[in-house]
Each structure stands twice: as C-alpha cells, then as structure tokens.
Structure 1
Amino acid sequence: MPSRTEKPLRVAVLADSDTRWKWGALTAHRLAPGARLDGCLLRGRATPTGRQLAEVGVRAETLREVTMTEFVRTADRSRYDVVVLACVGGAVQAALHGLAHAWGTGPARPVVVTGYVGVVYEKLADGLLLRHGADVVLANSPDDAHRFRAVYEGVGAPADSVAEWALPFLADTSDAGDKVIDAEGARLGPFTVVFAAQPSVPERRADRAYLLRRAAAHARLHPGREVLIKLRSKPGEHTTHIEEHPYQKLAAKLPGGLPPNCRLVYGHMGDVLDRTDLLVTVSSTAALEALHRAIPTAVLTDLGIREGLGNHHFLGSGCLASWDRLDAGHLPVPDPGWTARQGVATDGPYAHGTAFDAARRRVAALAARPGLPPLAPYYTARTAPGYLPGILARHGLDPEGRPLPGRAGAPAEAGALRRAVREAARGAYRHGVQRVAPVIRRLGEL
C-alpha cells in the first residue's frame, strides 16, 4: 500500500479573515506543493466577502463557511493529512482543544500547523501560548524563531514545534519587482509612491486624516509622481481588524479633494508593488514585502515611534522616516543585518525560496508517520483554569473541547433564508461598529 507521502497531501485550512485566508492558503501550497486544498472560513465579523477572496487570488478545491463546532466535527482524522489553522490566537486554541477531543487517541491524525500572518509586535507571549499545541508553529524569520522558542522554554513548554521559514507571500526576487523599462533600461511611467493603509493603525480619526492629507500634499508637491493609497477593504467589508474610520470616507471630506495624481486603489498587494518605487506605511506587513523586493521603504515616524503603532518593530531597520523627509526626496536604505534577521533579505535562502524547505520537510516527515501523539496544548483546565474556559466558550466548546449544548454544528447546507438572515445580521453588526460605536465613544468623552 502506498504511503501518504507518495501521493499529493490533502490539506484543510481554517481562516477567520481575508488576510489570514491568504496566509493559510499560501502556507498550504508552500508546505505541500500540489496538495488538494479545502478551505473553511470561520463565521464571524471578519468573514471575507467574495470580492475579498477574489482579490487574494488563491484557489481551493472547496471553500465553505463554518462555525468552530462545525469545523472540529467535520475535520475527520482520516480525511486530511495536514490542517492549517490561520486564525487569531483564541480561535487557534479553541480549534486545538476541539480537534484534540474529536480525534482522541487514535493511531493516526493530521499534522496541525499554525503561525502568524506577518509582523509580531504585540501580545507575543499571549499569542504564542494560545498557539502552543500545534505540531508546527511557523516563525517568519530567524528573529521570530528565537523569540518563539524563548517564550515556550520560559514557561517550561516544549519548543520543538517552532520551525523557521519565510512569509509565504514573499515573492522570489527573480520574479519580484519587475517594472516596465525601455531598451536602455530606463524605467517607464511615473515614479510611484504607495501608501499602504492599515485598518486599525492608527486608530484615531485625526491621525488617519493627517496621514491622508500628507499623502495628498506629497502628490501636489511632486506632480510628476503618482501617489496611490492602497486600501485593504471597501466600506462595509471587514478584515482582520475593525476599521472605524475608512480612508474612503476621509478622502471624500478632504478639503480640495485628492489631486489628480493621487488616488485610492485596491487589489493584490503583489500587483501594486510591481509598479512601486517607494512604499510608505506606519507598520504594515507590506513593508516586509517591499523590502524583500528591494523597493525603498519608509516606516513613518510622524505619529511617534510607539508600540501601539507597531513601528517600533522597525527600530534599526534604516527605514524610519517622516513625510517631511520624503517630501524632500529621501529614499530610505535598509540595514542588511536587520533585513536578514527579519527574513526579508534580498539574497540567501529567503531570496530564492529555500527558506521554506526545512518546514516542508518537517511536515512531510510528520505526515508520513503511522501515528502522532494526541494534541497537547500548554493551556489546560489545570494550567489556566481562569482563562481557557472563556476562550473555548466563545467558540462553542466546553473546557474539555466538547461542543456546548445546542452548539454541536448545523448541517453544511444553510439554505437561502438562513444565508439572508446571516448577511442581514452581519450588515447590522458592521453598521454598529462603523457608525454607532464611534458616536457613543465620542459622547462618553464629553
């Protein structure tokens, strides 16, 4: 009988937002080239729309919405070789406990993989311990791998699950950053500046309006340049984080409007970077993509260098700069030591895709074993009795990982009425988050 590794692996990805679906699906393809991919979108406030899924551009054999209880009920141990959990930490922890209960102590089960979508600049210990229990915890750089192991070892938990690799959406430098050039090698088209906006950084409306004004002012100061405001979602759509003050609405109220050479754009970040000459952001993971492509990258200091903004992660990178310096023509030059530690070096294994090899071999070796030990997260009813039950309950599970009464999971076919009710509820929630909640907060500040 052929082993499981003699044929394409079967992979399931559970994701709770558009960005995490992108990370999870690309991770699956990087770890198991040619695998059959089944996608599961965790139902919630950030469940991606059809437009967002199309923008990600990653195909799956099947793609469906599920609750956590539906997922653990249908992720049969014999159906998949690998399960990728591409969710926020609490959802990963719930999935680990739910799957541990569903799979029990049988002789074989899928390999469970998890990790982070991008820069880890906050809640390091909290997020990592919520992910502990997976067979493989992917670290996106040498620096992350060192930090991850230190956290696990610091609480006395096994750290052998940590595997260094690279962000799966980093393009190989041989294919990245290609721009239209003439016969003499000169760049065609205008110098393009891209401001990579983020849904929740910064949070304050005044700060977001300030960044938009400065981008528009840069376009006016440099009429020969094209300034693009790269947005993640359209009004009413949600991503990983709630966006209370969308740039689209701020742009509509901008005095004088946007100049002709400044506009809002959507689309796949890789496609936008293909025509980018300068990437500007507060702390977006897009900065790592740009640096990997050797595109000059500016991490803004205008609002300070603060943990809440995430730009402190770029200390020592050589990329910190203000709009004033960019207006004056400054192009940041990254520090090669820093980029190497962050896994975005333009040479070596991270440049040529070989940074994925070690994790790929580990997953293949685990999948080939006749059996794996039961999933054993660090958090249990004994180690975190005041924390874990609440996390599991939010996802419909009791402290043992069993579905709570009435939450055992509905049939996969929802029906037209149920879908309509769910979409109406989702729309009402988004309206409350984007319109009602900010008003209540402002009234509270009076």
Structure 2
Amino acid sequence: MLDLEVVPERSLGNEQWEFALGMPLAQAISILQKHCRIIKNVQVLYSEQTPLSHDLILNLTQDGIKLLFDATNQRLKVKVVYFELNGYERKTATEQQILEMYNAAEQLFHLNFRGLSFSFQLDSWNEAPKYEPNFALGLASLQIPHGAMVKRMHIYTGNNLQETRAPVMPLACFLGNIYAECVDVLRDRVGPLGLKLRLLTAGCGPGVMTDAKVRSLERSIYFGDSCQDVLGALGSPHKVFYKSEDKMKIHSPSPHKQVPSKCNDYFFNYFTLGVDILFDSTTHLVKKFVLHTNYPGHYNFNIYHRCDFKIPLVIKKGTDSQTEDCTLTTYSKWDQIQELLGHPMEKPVVLHRSSSANNTNPFGSTFCFGLQRMIFEVMQNNHIASVTLYGAPRTTSQARPDTACLPGPTGSL
C-alpha cells in the first residue's frame, strides 16, 4: 500500500509526487506512468456514449484510490481513499449534524469537515453510535463503538462534497508550460481567419521567486503567419511533426486530390494548448489549424489537453436577409452542427488510425466531414474529436488581417 500524506482541500501524495486538486488529467496520468512499478492496475472509467455526463475516473485498484476529474475541464475535482481502520473515536458536533451523518440507504455515517469527509460503517448495526444531547452549549458527544471501520475518505475543496468543483490549476502544475484557457476562432463572412488564444502561464515577479503567480495574456495567429510569427506569439512547440501523407484532402478541388506532394508539410504541436499548426513546406506559412477536444475513447486521448474553442457562425434564416448568430464549441455534437451548417455533399473520409505495432484500433474509426472551410472529425458517439480549419494563406506582401472580425455570438450549443 502507498504511504501518502493528506492535505485537506489541496493534495494527496508524498515527497516524490502528489495528486493536487485542480491538476490536469494528463499530469496525473504522467505520474502514474512514471511510477508504474509501484502503482499498478490503473483503470480509466468514463461514459462511452455520454462522456460529459459523468466524471472521468482514474481508479488505482490495488491502492484503494480513485481520482475524479471534471468531465468538462478535465481537472482533478475529488480524491477518494478507501481503507479500514478499527478503533474508538469521539466527535463533538451539534445534534442536527449528528442526525445528518447517518445515510440509511448506504448504512454509513459521514463525518464532514471543510475539504475532507469520512464515511464509516459498524460491524454490527445492532450497536448504533451513541450520543448525549446537550452535552455542552447545545453540543452533543458522539461515541462510536469499537469495531467501527472507516470505509472511505473524500478530499475536495469547499464545505460540501456534493457541490464541490474542480479548482483552478495550482501554480505547481504549470511546470513551465503555457495553457489555453479558451480559444476563439476569428473569421469573416467567408470563413476562418485565425485564432485568438487566451493563455495562462505561471510568471514571477522581478527577481523574487516567491512572487510567482498565474498571468493571463492574449495572442492571435492567422493563416499566412510565418514560423517566426507563431514562435513569437506562442513560444516553441512541444514537438515538430513532418507529414508523410495527406489524408485530409476532402476540401481540395477534385483535380488536385491525386497530385502527390513534392515535399512534406510540417506541424507545430502544442500539446498543452490542444492545438496543432500546419505550415506549408515551401512558403513556411500557416495553412491549417487543428483543435483537439481530448474526449476519452478517441485514439489520441491524453496526447493533447482539451482545447476549449468557440467558432462563431452567422446562419441565414429563410429566404430573406435575416441572420442568426450562434457558436460551435468543444461540446457541440455532430447532429447539432449539421442542423446549422447543413449536410455535407461528399462522403466522409474514414480514419482508422492503426499503428505499425498494433494494426487494430480498439476505439473504432472516426469520420471526417468538410463544411465551410472546416473539417469535423466525428466519433461514433456523435461527439467531435477535432476540428481542422483551413483557408487561403496570404502572401508575405499582404498585411495581417484586422482583428475586428464577426461580432460576438449571442447563443451557443
């Protein structure tokens, strides 16, 4: 069993590592992978059909620990520790608090503190906990008999486990990386122009490391930006990937679909932003953006952090000139998108994503549909795995587009 220290409302860990509330899912998995010789048999539990309806859980089956991550922001929300302790315990509380401790359905008693709660069960329910009302100043003394076993402990933020939320990412989790709080797609009446990213980084005060704090900044990048433009805005990528072939040509004019590339385009992979940026191999200018949703059950799950994007749209209503503003988000489903943008004219491109070491994809294929200079990769549960944005890149002699694009939308999916 693991020997871990508990800090209420904060963390569970030891001198080598800790699971901190607010920690991104990818960091927790990285810890488990690094210590795989000590922490074994880890299960990833999620809802396959409705991944946003239930927390995403890392279950350490041999160590009696469950890590619950918020299904939306994928940050650590609750830590559950299962264990058994025998002995005698005395707790001072109000009589109303004592009555609220007992859960008849589970046959458990709950002791709740700020950021910490214990659930315990008796060997024999014929011997119930005893308390003396009006022990002192309206308090009662709760005496739990010998044989009571603590079944589990919850670590969370706030006073109420049922209403707790994943906190913001703590400073210790930044590790020199930049994270995207949200990504807005900039566009005109024709299609996407680029991205506006709201970034979070752990900066330091001048010369004082103890002044470290989270800083927020905005950066915009556009189709046709150079490598230097992107590096200046976002910093160095985590990885540079050179394409071997182009499987995503469903947006190309038909005569050009079979024309082989003379040289390889390349991606800047920003894993903590959930964004890939494709550069043309000849001009070295941006030609595509790929936004990743990081849903469990996808082949690339846990490679990228979730990109919380918003894509503004202007939808025509009827035959007149009336329009309606709406927004596509990371959480929009494919059937909702088709209701707004219409059904694709061409058949989808099927992505199998099998590796050379393992020729089978346990998660199944995904389907790529092209609409309005966007390619939606759709999972079998109707959620969007990624969105690829493309457009005609400007030449080096053209100025960068004005950042004043479509007005902010009024509704969202």
Q: TM-score, normalised by structure 2?
A: 0.26
Q: Does 1 or 2 have the higher relative contact order (CA < 8 Å, sep 6+)?
A: 1
Q: Return the index of the structure with the highest Cα Rg.
A: 2
Pick the structure with more strand per residue: 2
Pick the structure with more helix per residue: 1
Q: TM-score, normalised by structure 1?
A: 0.25
